[in-house]
Amino acid sequence: MSRVNTIMRPVIIILGLSACTHRHHIASAHELGGETVTLSTSHGAVEAVGIETPNGVEFQATGTGQIVPANDIHTIEAKRHGQGALEGLAWGAVSGALIGGIYGYSQGDDECGEDDFCILEFSAGDKATFGAIGFGAIGGLIGLVAGAAVGSTDIFEYPTTQAVVKPGGPRGSVAGMTFSF
**pLDDT tens-digit profile of 141-170?**
999 999 999 898 888 887 765 555 555 555
Higher pLDDT: 158 or 54? It is 54
- Cβ atoms of residues 48 and 60 within 8 Å: yes
Would you state the torsion angle of the CA atoms of residues 30, 34, 40, 41, taken in this order, to the nearest 10 degrees? Answer: 80
pLDDT at 140: 95
Q: What percent of the chain is predicted at pLDDT more than 90? A: 38
Q: Say which amino acid occupies 150.
A: V
What per-residue string of b and e applies to 26-65 under the rule 16 or more CB within 10 Å gives b?
beebeebeebebebbbeeeebebbbeeeeeebbbeeeeee
Residues 153 and 19 sit within 8 Å (Cβ to Cβ) = yes
Q: Which residues contact 132 (CB under 8 A, 6 or more apart)?
A: 97, 98, 100, 101, 104
| 94 CB-near residues (< 8 Å, 6+ apart) | 136, 139
Residue 171 pLDDT exceeds 70: no
> What is the reported pLDDT for 166?
55
- Minimum mean pLDDT range among 12-16, 42-46, 74-78, 119-123: 12-16
| Stated pTM of the model | 0.66
Report the half-sphere exposure of 103 (CA within 13 A, side-chain side).
21
**Structure confidence at residue 136 as a pLDDT band (50, 70, 90):** very high
Q: What average pLDDT does range 29-46 have in this prediction?
A: 88
